[in-house]
Amino acid sequence: MMNSEDRATFLAEFDVSRETLERLDAVILTLDAWRQRSNLIGPREWPQIWGRHVADSYQILPFIPESTRIVDLGSGAGFPGLIISAARPHSHVTMMESVGKKCAFLRAAIGDAGLSASVYQGRIEAAPNSTADIITARAFAPLPKLLDYAAPWMENGATGVFLKGERWKEELTDAQQRWNFAYEAIPSRTGGSGVILIVRELKRGQR
């Protein structure tokens, strides 16, 4: 059952166009149909799907140009990949996911919402060469490992826009032992002590 109050809270917090909202509604409707047979989102999470998951993803949009190439690592249930794609119709999002049932859902949501996006099913390390301007990820891997995954694109100039939780400072310290990079940490708008971590100029550290 959709929580209309939860959706209204999200809409009060963010400026969402009618067209974008139609695409977001289509994504969430598809997720609702699939979650009951694929365990994509736990039953306790569903009542706060808009206020927590959609909002958490939507807050990174100021750091993503209107027309750009995005790679979303470990897309899972589509946060933030599907949300970005719904809000950036002139961009293309490539969602990378290794679990077959999650890939099937992502493809269904892309089709139902009419998104400019595609799904790569497999291990990120085995992904074919591609170009990207922005790399995104949410709740996927600790920062040192995340940068390992993102390096093929970021070492060629892509910017990382990562949603990180309360242990982000610890992860940052660990990552700086292996990588050189510039970063900016923007406090999360969705509560807690998490941040949007912007990472640029990634280079391998001296060993």
Spatial separation of the C-alpha atoms in residues 107 and 115, rounded to whole Å: 10
pLDDT by residue (tens digit) across 101-144? Answer: 999 999 999 999 999 999 999 999 999 888 999 999 998 999 99
pLDDT by residue (tens digit) across 21-53? Answer: 999 999 999 999 999 888 888 888 899 999 999
The CATH number assigned to the domain holding 160 equals 3.40.50.150
Spatial separation of the C-alpha atoms in residues 22 and 26, rounded to whole Å: 6
Spatial separation of the C-alpha atoms in residues 29 and 35, rounded to whole Å: 10
pLDDT > 90: percent of the chain: 86
Residue 118's nearest CA partner among 158, 132, 29, 195 is 132
Q: Are 140 and 77 in contact (CB under 8 A)?
A: no
Tokens of 103: 């890939």
* pLDDT-based confidence at residue 3 (cuts at 50, 70, 90): low
Say what the pTM is: 0.95
What phi and psi values does residue 132 have, to the nearest 5 degrees? -155, 150
How many domains, in total, are found in the chain? 1
